[in-house]
Amino acid sequence: MESQSNSPEKNNSFGFLGLKKKIKDYPFSRFLFKYKSPYLKGFFWLLFVDFLNIVQPLLVKMAMDALVPGAIRAVIIAAVAYLVVMVLQSIGRYWWRVYLIGTANYVASDLRKELYEHLQKIPLMRYHRYRTGDLMSRATNDIESIRMALGPGILVALDAVIMFLMLVPAMLWLSWKLTLLTFAFYPLVPLLTAKIGNKVDFFFEKMQSRLSQMSAYAQETFSGIRLIKALVLENHSDRKFRQLSAEFVNEGQRLAKYESVFSPSLSFLTQMGTFFILFFGGKDVIAGAISVGTFIAFQRFVVQLSWPMEAIGWSVTMTREAKAAERRIEQVLQENSVEDTYPAITSSSLEAELEIRDLQFGFMQEKESGFSLALNGLEIPTGKKIGLVGPVGSGKTTLFNLLLRLYEPPPGTVFLRDKDIRTIGLNELRNRVGSVEQQVTLFGESVATNLGMGLKRELSSGQMEQALKVAGIWEEVEALKGSLETFIGEKGVTLSGGQRQRLALARALLRQPELLLLDDCFSAVDVECEQQIIERFFEAYPKLSILFSSHRLSVMPRMDEIWVMESGKIISRGKHSTLIRNCHLYRSLWRESEREVERERLETGEILL
């Protein structure tokens, strides 16, 4: 009894004093608190199993001690008891596995969802600083490391601590002298862990960063393969990849050296315990100080001790890996999300009347060339159709991004019905201000799901049909095998570029926006088709305000007003008939576009016929 109450104190260094802090420090410890109940249940079953682990050697001792006096009954009892213990242990093992490892899966799923949800909230300007591959790796590999730490990692660490705390009293109870001998070398353990563990940690992180460099390089190579082949850079890229790979192997080999020393030396230390027991314990038996059973049971205790020792190595590695993963995931989770706490505006108060006052915007990181937008005194009255034209790179797309708050405009510059758009909830803003971009993105779902993507209400097939008709794609959708329910493949690969653009237009229309931003969204649709869509569409939505940019100017005469943009400024505005006379840039853009159109017609043979 006395020795048992002693033991926790004795093992303070192993974690009781700093326990709370240790738990807090554990990667993503908040999940430990969230899933307290299953973790505690798992902990209980672990205690149960480990307790039975201690009983086993004692039963062996009982049997061995009975051998000498020749008590067959005691031997049989011990054997049967042993079997019972093992059966109970089997049950216990089933449950702790389900509770501890199973819970870690819930944690990983939670974290995955949380991370993905957060990714959706990061302002795009910041979001685009991450590479896609990098984010992917955080959401997959790093979360796997966390899962390992919060499942097997915790299991192993707890198991080790519990085993240790139970073994020591049991051993002291059998023989304090042999116990002390067993632990003679143990002070070396923390020393070894700290020394080698740090190195392992260091080289592991280095290796990981080399790996992600390689991965990034492979990405660059494969996506630019056409040029690599055209410039005959295959050998060059091999060399560079080989170089990256060699650096990776270098770090890896250093890591291997430290890791290979680590676990054999730990197991050597436990084996030294066995050695002492063999020698001194053997002498004790001869001297009659302890029984043969104690001698044998002690051997088994020492063997059992090897597990906590091994577990230290394991859990140290897993925790360190998880720590690194936690840093990488936390980095993303720490990214400020776009604030979106503004109260909804009652719809009557908000009819599209967009106003831009003194808007200046630049990409901060480039000081000199710093492309910037400077706009003032622009407005889109309700129901007006505005055209936006300008050479490539003049800032049209940036303007669209600002109006949607994909890029955050400075406060007090963009107003929707006299309300600063920065004070309008994001979802609300983007429901009221619809948009279709040139590089249309569809999702690997059905046509109907794509159309209703992000909408709160259900769409009737009638509504969808109407929108698809306006967008001039209804017949093509109807002709698909499953009509609206047809699966369109990842990113909509089964559709042509023009089909995707028209589908995206229908998607935008179904959101019933008050203002629609169309950013050169008919680039893959032919002229005739574009004209028809525009006619139909303006007719069907007379109250919808539109800001329409296009590199083809053929529909510009239909616009109520046209803004001509150059180098981030509106240099001229007015109707087509005015601009064609007064604005040199507009004239040359128009001329070029008309030629393009004519050429296209010519080539498709329409004019010749």
Considering only residues 496 through 555, tell me which ones interact with another protein, judged by CB under 8 A: 507, 511, 551
Nearer to another protein, 41 or 121 (CB): 121
Q: By CB under 8 A, is residue 223 in contact with another protein?
A: yes
Q: In what order do the strands lie in the sheet with 561-566?
A: 433-436, 515-519, 545-549, 385-389, 561-566, 569-574
Q: By CB under 8 A, is residue 219 in contact with another protein?
A: yes
Considering only residues 83 through 102, tell me which ones interact with another protein, judged by CB under 8 A: 83, 85-87, 89-91, 93-94, 97-98, 101-102
Q: Which residues contact 488 (CB under 8 A, 6 or more apart)?
A: 442, 444, 445, 446, 447, 450, 494, 495
What track of x and - describes contact with another protein for positions 413 through 442 (by CB under 8 A)?
-------------xx--xx---x-x--xx-
Q: Which residues contact 271 (CB under 8 A, 6 or more apart)?
A: 306
Element (H, E) at 154: helix 154-174
* Interface segment toward another protein; rule CB under 8 A; list 4-12, 112-120, 172-180, 412-420: 112-120
Instruction: Tell me the Ramachandran region of residue 460: left when phi exceeds 0, alpha when psi lies from -120 to 50, beta otherwise.
Output: beta
Nearer to another protein, 19 or 445 (CB): 445
Instruction: Provide the minimum distance between the beta carbon of 421 and another protein in the complex, in angstroms, as a whole number.
Output: 14
CA distance to 51, 238, 345, per residue, from 48 (Å): 5, 56, 59
Q: By CB under 8 A, is residue 227 in contact with another protein?
A: yes
Q: By CB under 8 A, is residue 195 in contact with another protein?
A: no
Considering only residues 578 through 597, tell me which ones interact with another protein, judged by CB under 8 A: 580-581, 585, 587-595
Q: By CB under 8 A, is residue 220 in contact with another protein?
A: yes
* Interface segment toward another protein; rule CB under 8 A; list 15-23, 376-384, 449-457, 472-480: 449-457
Structure tokens at 144: 């796997």
What track of x and - describes contact with another protein for positions 136 through 165 (by CB under 8 A)?
x--xx-------------------------
Instruction: Provide the minimum distance between the beta carbon of 389 and another protein in the complex, in angstroms, as a whole number.
Output: 10
Do the Cβ atoms of 304 and 182 come closer than 8 Å?
no
In 3-state terms, what secondary structure has residue 546?
strand
Among 47, 75, 289, 333, binds another protein (CB under 8 A): 75
Nearer to another protein, 22 or 591 (CB): 591
* Interface segment toward another protein; rule CB under 8 A; list 160-168, 297-305, 315-323, 534-542: 297-305
Q: By CB under 8 A, is residue 397 in contact with another protein?
A: no
Please tell me the distance from the alpha carbon of residue 291 to that of residue 4, in angstroms, as a whole number. 22
The Cα angle at residue 423 between residues 421 and 424, in degrees rounded to 5: 65
Among 146, 150, 406, 484, binds another protein (CB under 8 A): 406
In 3-state terms, what secondary structure has residue 232?
coil
What track of x and - describes contact with another protein for positions 556 through 575 (by CB under 8 A)?
----------xx--------
Nearer to another protein, 59 or 165 (CB): 59
The alpha carbon dihedral of 92, 98, 101, 106 has a sign of negative
Q: By CB under 8 A, is residue 13 in contact with another protein?
A: no
Nearer to another protein, 40 or 602 (CB): 602
Do the Cβ atoms of 301 and 57 come closer than 8 Å?
yes
Nearer to another protein, 347 or 588 (CB): 588
Total residues interacting with another protein, rule: CB under 8 A: 162
Considering only residues 300 through 359, tell me which ones interact with another protein, judged by CB under 8 A: 300, 303
Give 9: exposed, middle or buried? Use CB within 10 Å, 0-12, 13-18, 19+. exposed
Q: For the chain, give the number of residues.
A: 609
Considering only residues 244 through 283, tell me which ones interact with another protein, judged by CB under 8 A: 245-246, 248-249, 252-253, 255-257, 259-261, 263-265, 267-268, 271-272, 274-275, 278-279, 282-283
Instruction: Provide the minimum distance between the beta carbon of 608 and another protein in the complex, in angstroms, as a whole number.
Output: 8
Nearer to another protein, 6 or 441 (CB): 441
Nearer to another protein, 1 or 232 (CB): 232
Q: Which residues contact 481 (CB under 8 A, 6 or more apart)?
A: none
Please tell me the distance from the alpha carbon of residue 322 to that of residue 156, in angstroms, as a whole number. 14
* Interface segment toward another protein; rule CB under 8 A; list 70-78, 170-178, 179-187, 309-317: 70-78
Nearer to another protein, 265 or 382 (CB): 265
Q: Name beta bridge partners: 487.
A: 446
Q: Which residues contact 568 (CB under 8 A, 6 or more apart)?
A: 371, 372, 373, 374, 375, 394, 395, 398
Please tell me the distance from the alpha carbon of residue 157 to that of residue 162, in angstroms, as a whole number. 9
Instruction: Provide the minimum distance between the beta carbon of 266 and another protein in the complex, in angstroms, as a whole number.
Output: 10
CA distance to 106, 158, 370, 464, per residue, from 434 (Å): 37, 54, 28, 16
The closest of 371, 403, 443 to 549, measured between CA atoms, is 403
